[in-house]
Structure 1
Amino acid sequence: MKGAVRRFRGLPLRSRLALLVTVAVAVAVAAAAVVCWFVVRNVLVSSLDDALSENRVPDSWVRTMIDDSGQCRRTIVGQKEAPNLLKQTVQVVDQTGNSCVVLGEQTITLERQDTEVALRESPHAFHNATASNGAEYRVFTYPLDGTPYAVSAARPLSEVDDTLNNLALVLTVVAGIGVIGAGAAGLWVARTGLRPVDRLTEAVEHVARTEDLNLRIPVDGDDEIARLSESFNSMTASLASSRDLQQQLIADAGHELRTPLTSLRTNIELLARSEDTGRAIPPDDRRALLASVKAQMTELASLIGDLQELSRPDAGQGGAKVQVVALHDIVETALERARLRGPELTFTADLAPWYVRAEPAALERAVVNILDNAVKFGPPGSAVEVALKGGELTVRDHGPGIPAEELPHVFDRFWRSPTARSLPGSGLGLSIVARTVRQSGGEVALASAEGGGTVASVRLPGAATPPPETPETPLEAPAGTSPG
């Protein structure tokens, strides 16, 4: 059995569908044929019973065939006075179970129910019996009025069996034709129904062979195959977009790495040439050169760190564990680092408690990047205003601001404003901010502030009080707050 199942599963899908359809139709046709055969048999037997009961030999004639001692005088077969046109056999049955034939050539085997009719224990009886020649007969036994006898009239069941045999032959032929037709129809339906799957298979094989992610499958209708085709098209479109983004990231990263690497190579070559030629570089120039090398290495390390952050898997897919964190504490920690980086700036903070679900390290890095942006563009002596109210964090600087035409690009990777190309940075800081905030279910935006400068706003869903449950428990903002 298991071997048959394995062989069946090893067949192509269209062959399995055609075979299943054929088997299902064969079972249905066989069941219908069997039911039809039994129904017709019952009808024919019932008709034969009606004929036996309605066409009885006259009782007066039967009584003339019995002498005073209860013995049959003779057997009449085909005589003019009682022609046996229906090939029936008529017997007289007494109350002791003996019988004699009064019409017909065959003797019919008696049953107990025939004697019961003679004893008047039963009004009549129908049953099948075997004749002396081995043939099957249908027997109808009824009492002979005015005598202690019963009459058994029997007709051969060949009248029914011949019709049933012809019917069985017809049903077999029709069922065979039906099964063959069902198999052909099942194979045609399987081929027609699986043609879109064949196209999908060819498309997948083409993509695997050529890595051409621009291939699209035509979608017809809205059935399961159409939805599968739509899903495949969406998958290839997503893969193509992801590959384009990867290629763009590699190209941008290569472009950004080329500048500090070129500068490093130049400075190191100057140092090496000084050592090779024996001509010392003036101390001030040497210190400036080493400071430049250190700055370039710091820039490279920052760029590589940002690239690693952007290439890290999303939360829940290999990233750090998400937990409930106090956003106000993270902002306070980031402010301490920002004060060290911008000692000439004045920082003001108005932080209300707010708890969110996020990755602590990633969220702190995002807040630090926002504050670093404000430190970078804030003129000396200006103020950086930080506020956290109702789940919205705002950081406002008093720098030159961002032109309106540049605002749509501020979160793009490696994008840097033309006015900020001379400032340090990789162009990835705000991209990291946008990614982290989106993973935490929030929103981030940059806009020009009234009176000059830029205001960055981050809205994260959360609550003003920590939840009593475990850190994995989702947070819901209370009424009256703006969770974003």
Structure 2
Amino acid sequence: MRGLAHRLRTLPLRSRLALLVASAVAIAVAAAAIVCWLLTRTQLRSELDNSLRNISAQSGAVQDALRGCAAGTNPGTGGTTNFAYIQVVGSDGSRCVFPYSEPVKVQPQDIAVARGTERDTLHNSVTENGAAVRVRTSRVLVGPGSAAVSVSRPLSEIDSSLNRLALLLAAVAGIGVIGAGAAGLWIARAGLRPVDGLTLAVEHVARTEDLTVRIPVEGEDEIARLSRSFNSMTAALASSRDRQSQLIADAGHELRTPLTSLRTNIELLARSEETGRAIPPDDRKALMASVKAQMTELAALIGDLQELSRPDAADPGPLQVVALHEVVTHAVERARLRGPDLSVGSDLRPWYVRAEPAALERALVNVLDNAVKFSPSGGSVEVALTEYGELTVRDHGPGIPAEELPHVFERFWRSPSARALPGSGLGLSIVARTIHQTGGEIALRPAAGGGTVAAIRIPGAPTPPPETYRPETP
């Protein structure tokens, strides 16, 4: 059985389908043929038994048999008749065969009828020549007494018909199985044609890495669903590869500027050391400050790239119950240190959320850093956390044009007006990703009177559950 199962698994799918269809049809046809043959045999046997009862009822034939036996006429193995064999059975097992009948072996059932213990019997027996017969023995009144008369007919009458029927059913079943196998192979080929197309498409993608391949979709069956899934998969892979290529290109572009500036400054310092020409102290101080700033910008850019290198579906870390108002307070303190000439006000209500504390704090610091960066000197930043859990950060900077708002959360995108300011264009992308991982949402909109409002909503509650995370105060 294991070897057969292994051989079946090695066959092509269409061959297995054709074989399964042919096997199913063969079993069904064989079962139908057997049932048909059994029903026919039962019907023929029933008709034969009825004919024996009718013959037994023909008193003329029975009386002739009795008179012949009484006269001592027993031709023994006389001539055969085309209709029935008749013989009289004695209580001692003796028999008197009707002329032109084949002598049939007396069975115990016949003797029981002759002795009067049974009224009649119906059974199989054989002639002296070994031919199978169907026998009916019954008691017949003869004058003041009675006698047992056996009437039999050869079973070859129905056996030959049953044999011809069996051959006919076998031929029909064979033709049906062959036809079913051919039909199954044709159906398998027609049904698996879309699978062949899908296989060719997958092999083409594996060979050429061409993710623009699409499979035509027809209908709503499983093959159509599989084709749609394949098309969706290749589209997602193509989009992922495009984003990866864009990320590498954007990262290279963003890294080129600080690296070029850093290399220039280092070359100036190296040339000064090699030539012995000292750089004026003020210029050297400015040069070192530029190097430090470029290194800081590179470190921040690399950190942002590491954060974005994680897949969107990656586990952000263990979620904890976080006191959002305290995290915002911490971020506000840091914003005040980075913008000492700004007024950063806050109006915070208690709100507790489930998030990864470090990632959430980093995201909120990025939002406030943006507000500080774009605020004019002497301006103000207003932070509010309502009792319904909406956090807003409003600045009074130049604002964001309406046509640029759809792009603010894209990686490396920077407004033309912000090209001269430090940054990589990754901060808001990281913020949006972090907020979405907590089940929240973030949006930027123009503020009344100028500036921009960043609105963040994270699911939570105003009351603190157990094990609440509270950030450390710097």
Decide: shared fold, TM above 0.5: yes
The match for 1:479 is: none
Q: Structure 1 residues 353, 123: CA separation in 2 closer, same or farther (over 3 Å shift)?
A: farther
Q: Which runs of 5+ in 2 are unaligned?
A: 470-474
The match for 1:381 is: 378
1:461 aligned to 459, 462, 473, which one? Answer: 459
Q: Percent identity?
A: 67
Contact 2:78–2:101 (CA<8 Å) still a contact in 1?
A: no
Shift of 1:302: 0.6
Distance in 1 separating the partners of 2:103 and 2:37: 30
Q: Which runs of 5+ in 1 are unaligned?
A: 472-484
Q: How many residues align?
A: 463
Question: More deviation in 96-105 or 258-267?
Answer: 96-105
Correspondence 1:91 to 2:124 = no
The match for 1:206 is: 204
Distance in 2 separating the partners of 1:189 and 1:275: 84
Q: Structure 1 residues 333, 351: CA separation in 2 closer, same or farther (over 3 Å shift)?
A: same
Q: Structure 1 residues 21, 468: CA separation in 2 closer, same or farther (over 3 Å shift)?
A: farther
Describe the superposition over 1:361-387 as per-residue Cα deviations: whole angstroms up to 9, x where unpaired. 221111111000011011232221111
Distance in 2 separating the partners of 1:166 and 1:9: 40
Q: Structure 1 residues 469, 201: CA separation in 2 closer, same or farther (over 3 Å shift)?
A: farther
Q: Structure 1 residues 18, 281: CA separation in 2 closer, same or farther (over 3 Å shift)?
A: same
Contact 2:81–2:101 (CA<8 Å) still a contact in 1?
A: no
Contact 1:78–1:85 (CA<8 Å) still a contact in 2?
A: no
The match for 2:278 is: 280
Distance in 1 separating the partners of 2:338 and 2:98: 132
Shift of 1:77: 7.9
1:64 aligned to 67, 73, 84, which one? Answer: 67
RMSD: 2.0
- Give the 5 Å matches for 1:70-469: 73-75=73-75, 84-86=81-83, 88-146=84-142, 147-314=145-312, 317-389=314-386, 390-467=388-465
The match for 1:4 is: 4
Shift of 1:105: 4.5
Distance in 2 separating the partners of 1:319 and 1:182: 57
Question: Structure 1 counterpart of 2:37, which letter?
Answer: W
- Give the 5 Å matches for 1:15-34: 15-34=15-34
Distance in 1 separating the partners of 2:31 and 2:81: 40
Question: Structure 1 counterpart of 2:90, which letter?
Answer: D
Distance in 2 separating the partners of 1:332 and 1:469: 19
Distance in 2 separating the partners of 1:154 and 1:124: 13
- Partner secondary structure for residue 144 of structure 1: strand
Shift of 1:270: 0.5
Describe the superposition over 1:159-202 as per-residue Cα deviations: whole angstroms up to 9, x where unpaired. 00100010011011110000001111111111111110010000
- Partner secondary structure for residue 85 of structure 1: coil
Distance in 2 separating the partners of 1:418 and 1:265: 26
The match for 1:476 is: none
Shift of 1:73: 3.2
- Partner secondary structure for residue 97 of structure 1: coil
Contact 2:258–2:294 (CA<8 Å) still a contact in 1?
A: yes
Distance in 2 separating the partners of 1:97 and 1:469: 105
Distance in 2 separating the partners of 1:45 and 1:302: 99
The match for 1:474 is: none
Q: Structure 1 residues 135, 76: CA separation in 2 closer, same or farther (over 3 Å shift)?
A: closer
The match for 2:472 is: none
Describe the superposition over 1:115-166 as per-residue Cα deviations: whole angstroms up to 9, x where unpaired. 2322333332211112111111011111121334211111110000100010
Distance in 1 separating the partners of 2:78 and 2:463: 114
Question: Structure 2 counterpart of 1:393, which letter?
Answer: L
